Amino acid sequence: MATRSSAFAIRELEDFFVPMLRNCFNVVKLKKIQAHIVKLSLSQSNFLLTKMVDVCDNIGNIEYASLLFKQVVKPNGFSYNAMIRAYTHHHQYGVAITLYQNMLRDPQTDNPIWPDKFTFPFVIKCSAGLLCHFLGQELHAQVCKFGPKSNLIIENALIDMYTKCYNFIDAHKVFERMTERDTISWNCLLFGHVRLGQMRRARAIFDDMPDKTIVSWTTLISGYARIGCYVDALDVFRRMQVVGIEPDEISIVSVLPACAQLGALEVGKWIHMYSDKNGLSCKTNICNALIEMYAKCGCIDEARQLFGNMVDRDVITWSTMLGGLANHGKAREAIELFQDMQIAKVQPNGITFLSILSACTHAGLWDEGLKYFDCMRCVCRIEPEIEHYGCLIDLLGRSGRLVETLDAIQKMPMKPDSKIWGSLLSSCRIHSNLEIAIIAMEHLLEFEPDDTGNYVLLSNIYADLGKWEGVSRMRKLIRSKSMQKMPGCSVIEVNNVVQDFVSGDHSKPFSKDVFWILELLALHQDRTDDMREVAQED
């Protein structure tokens, strides 16, 4: 009877601290509460330990949670689960797995502590975070051993783990054996295929989904945009609106690059108005995407106005605006903006320098470009990547310093790719330098042996120098290799729908009408020319 009364009293004391811990939002207050707990001889209470670890998890002090856990001599399953959960939330996956292993062989307890439905979701998430496929399979086996046999949260975690570890066979097996599925189950499988660019499989899963959420639609949109299927991305975005799902911040940021690449200005403007109406225009990432869209659609003034109205600008904002000015040939404005960026004390990154180097290259500002390349390495301590060297090679080549350009290529810290050698060949075409052009062509043959454009460039250099034997040799090579030029492609936006046209493609349902109208236009042009000739004769 006395034992029961003692246990009841302890329980009452533990319950007394629960509201205090629930309203604890900093470690100073937590330490004060802990002092009272120790004073009342409750320092070994697993119930209070669990609550204190949860507080540490919420305030982000995982180190203090670890100290609290180590002070308890016999932690129970709830305490282990709380600590594993805290480690997982703070991405300390390896530590969480080690703690899980200690839980299975805890020397402080006579009875083993078995994992339960609260343990497995987090340790499985840890194996996904570590991209450890074999650990995931071992945990899956332990789920089968310890149970529960069927648990939606655990099964979703397994699907997520297997897809992140690129094991789609086991992911689909778990999915197919589930007695119950929710939208998370479908989305995990969908996101796995999208992440690998397997859009046909992803689209099939998406079409089979009984309930599609905004996450499902956004995942598919971003997947199409990531692999360059911009028309499909816009089509899915429109379908999402048709079924009554309103775009959110993530879906807008996902679809705007497709608008930018396709020049779908009207859709982009609609998104801008929608963002204004729904209070999303204050989001920096949405403004960044809108600036890029306007710039790539040729509306640099709108991009500049949006940039000027922004309150919070990050390095992506500045770099995007710089890139837009560079692509519109406004090199001087780009340089001024870069100076404003330095005044604003925003640290530039590699993309920033890529934009400013591109601006200098296309505007013929050779000395300024070299100055910024040196600034990137020596002042900002940013190691140039191959794209930066591409700008440097283009800059030197356009200025006519071809020997220096070749020397820079040979001294690059990484192996030059086809774009580097192609840039050198183009510069040789501008300055009619056959000797270095042949060197560039020899390297291009390793990367692009069947690229017609390279042969044509070299042939033009031979022609500029009057070396017609070389021209003839290039043409024979093109014929002997049966090379064909890549078909041209163009897109137009009509009534907010983007249509793409590929040379020689007759598959579209309206192709006959298009070609018929083209023939009419050609006949009309011929008649107009004839009438002009007659008028001139008169």
Residue 1 confidence (pLDDT): 44
The DSSP letter of residue 246 is P
- 305 vs 179: CA distance, rounded Å: 54
Residue 361 confidence (pLDDT): 87
The answer to whether 305 and 324 are in contact (CB under 8 A) is no
* pLDDT of 493 higher than 70: no
What pLDDT digit, counting tens, does each position of 33-46 carry? 999 999 999 999 99
Average the pLDDT over 383-407 and give the result.
Answer: 93
* pLDDT of 9 higher than 80: no
Euclidean distance between the first and final Cα of the chain, in Å? 127
Residue 452 confidence (pLDDT): 85
Residues whose CB is less than 8 angstroms from the CB of residue 235 and which lie 6 or more positions away in sequence, other chains included: none
Higher pLDDT, 533 or 356: 356
Residue 477 confidence (pLDDT): 81
Average the pLDDT over 483-493 and give the result.
Answer: 56
Residue 475 confidence (pLDDT): 86
Average the pLDDT over 328-349 and give the result.
Answer: 93
Residues whose CB is less than 8 angstroms from the CB of residue 81 and which lie 6 or more positions away in sequence, other chains included: 50, 116, 118, 119, 122
Residue 536 confidence (pLDDT): 57
* pLDDT of 2 higher than 50: no
Residue 449 confidence (pLDDT): 85
Going by pLDDT thresholds of 50, 70 and 90, the confidence category of residue 518 is confident
The answer to whether 479 and 450 are in contact (CB under 8 A) is no
What pLDDT digit, counting tens, does each position of 406-443 carry? 999 999 999 999 999 999 999 999 999 999 999 999 99
What pLDDT digit, counting tens, does each position of 68-107 carry? 999 999 999 999 999 999 999 999 999 999 999 999 886 5
What pLDDT digit, counting tens, does each position of 451-472 carry? 888 888 889 999 988 888 888 8
Look up residue 504 and give its two tokens: 């020689």
Residue 57 confidence (pLDDT): 95
Least confident of 1-15, 198-212, 290-304, 344-358: 1-15
What pLDDT digit, counting tens, does each position of 233-269 carry? 999 999 999 999 999 999 999 999 999 999 999 999 9
Q: How large is the angle between the packed helices 452-464 and 468-480, nearest 10 degrees?
A: 170
What pLDDT digit, counting tens, does each position of 107-156 carry? 555 567 889 999 999 999 999 999 999 999 999 999 998 878 789 999 99
Q: How far is CA 141 from the centre of its chain?
A: 34
**Which amino acid makes up residue 416?**
P
Provide the mean pLDDT of the chain: 88
Residues whose CB is less than 8 angstroms from the CB of residue 384 and which lie 6 or more positions away in sequence, other chains included: 350, 353, 373, 376, 377, 392
Going by pLDDT thresholds of 50, 70 and 90, the confidence category of residue 484 is low
Percent of the chain with pLDDT over 90: 72
Look up residue 144 and give its two tokens: 């089968």
Least confident of 225-229, 305-309, 311-315, 470-474: 470-474
